[in-house]
Amino acid sequence: MLSYPRRKTKKVMVGGLAIGGDAPVVVQSMNNTDTRDADASLRQILQLAEAGCEISRLAVPDMEAADAFARIRRLSPLPLVADIHFDYRLALAAINAGADKIRINPGNIGDPERVRQIADAARKAGIPIRVGVNSGSLKQSLINAHGGVNEAAMTASALDSVAMLERFGFDQIVLSIKASDPALAIAAYRLLSRKTDYPLHLGVTEAGTLREGVIRSAVGIGTLLAEGIGDTLRVSLTADPVEEIHAAYAILKSLGLRRRGPELISCPTCGRTAVDLQKVAETVEEKLKSIRHPIRVAVMGCAVNGPGEARHADIGIAGGKGEFLIFRKGEILRKVPQEEAVKALMDEIDKLCASLN
């Protein structure tokens, strides 16, 4: 597989996890639980961790949430980011509560003196700050100066915030510059990546529901990653955040940047297909969710082209008339009736995984 050289960025630590430098692209999500409900928030963090999430972010909209954040942080297996808007005291409380990173938009914190207090507290705690610029909340003066909501205005906003934090002697910074329009997000991250070597957190914000949002995110985030831009990412979906993690790894796996869990390839079917391939592929996909090994599994419609087309798969099945061939690395192992195909494939996968342990 081709590899995509990454742009060199500064390394920033979030808990024990590195973002930027030579670290792999880090996968993040954001809880959609009420942070004040510590038990529900923790349950979701455990589900996210199980799916492969490496950092989660929680909204801290009030002091009650900041108190709950402290409890959640103590019990969380993942580093946690506190998402703060408007009130610098919430940022200070979240830092006290053990946040591993703070996400702010300095523009809406107001008085620079308050941003200084956040920077000082973060420095003392040894944690980074993510400056999250969003195309939807740019200052009017920047929009006027740059002729609209565009990549220049967004980049200027991010760089203004960087300059402010650097003035306060703070340089553990991660930057995001999200837009809901993937084309604008791509242009903005490209421009910003030429102007700074702070690590970049990629995302297409408000991307949409599962199907549409995954496509928009894959286009936006995938384009940037293929250009070597991006050190961490969050796929934003109006869906269970666990889906964000599956989508993030699918994007990273398709570029060969991370491997986690199995990869399923399946043919689109054609006039040669004589089995219910869609059903078989969906059943196999569901069963693969419990496998952690980075194996490649193929589910192909026919034995004419199937094993050949899927030669790069570790293991697979190819349909015939009411039966399937099981193959490994393009070599046919045996033939099984259609109704036994999924079980036979999963048995072979178990054997393969056992040999990898």
What's the min distance (Å) between Cβ of 342 and ligand SF4?
17
| # binding residues, ligand SF4 (CB under 6 A) | 13
329: left (phi over 0), alpha (psi -120 to 50) or beta: left
The residue among 200 and 341 lying less far from ligand SF4, judged by its C-beta, is: 341
Give phi and psi for 2, each to the nearest 5: -60, 150
Which residue in the set 269, 293, 296, 344 belongs to the binding site for ligand SF4 (CB under 6 A)?
269
The residue among 117 and 273 lying less far from ligand SF4, judged by its C-beta, is: 273
Give phi and psi for 130, each to the nearest 5: -95, 125
Element (H, E) at 81: strand 80-83
Which residue in the set 305, 328, 338, 344 belongs to the binding site for ligand SF4 (CB under 6 A)?
305
DSSP 225-291: HHTT--SEEE---SS-HHHHHHHHHHHHHHTTS---S-EEEE----TT--S-HHHHHHHHHHHHTT-
Q: Is 321 in the site for ligand SF4 (CB under 6 A)?
A: no
The token pair that represents 17 in the structure block: 């996890």
The residue among 52 and 306 lying less far from ligand SF4, judged by its C-beta, is: 306
Question: What residues between 238 and 267 interact with ligand SF4 by CB under 6 A?
Answer: 267
Beta bridge partners of 336: 324
What's the min distance (Å) between Cβ of 310 and ligand SF4?
8
| 8 A C-beta contact, residue 249 and residue 261 | yes
What's the min distance (Å) between Cβ of 270 and ligand SF4?
3
The residue among 174 and 267 lying less far from ligand SF4, judged by its C-beta, is: 267
What's the min distance (Å) between Cβ of 256 and ligand SF4?
23
Q: Is 268 in the site for ligand SF4 (CB under 6 A)?
A: yes
Task: Name the one range near ligand SF4 by CB under 6 A: 4-12, 24-32, 179-187, 296-304.
Answer: 296-304
Q: Is 338 in the site for ligand SF4 (CB under 6 A)?
A: no
The residue among 14 and 345 lying less far from ligand SF4, judged by its C-beta, is: 345
Q: How many other C-beta atoms are found inside a 10 Å radius of the C-beta of residue 99? A: 30
Give phi and psi for 64, each to the nearest 5: -65, -40
The site string for ligand SF4 over 219-238 (x = CB under 6 A, - otherwise) reads: --------------------
Q: Is 323 in the site for ligand SF4 (CB under 6 A)?
A: no
Give phi and psi for 68, each to the nearest 5: -65, -35
The token pair that represents 297 in the structure block: 């599994």
Tell me the C-alpha distance between 347 and 234, whole Å: 34
3-class DSSP state of 113: helix
Question: What residues between 21 and 50 interact with ligand SF4 by CB under 6 A?
Answer: none
- Give the residue closest to ligand SF4 by C-beta: 301
**In the complex, which residues of this chain contact ligand SF4 (CB under 6 A)?**
267-270, 272-273, 300-302, 304-306, 309
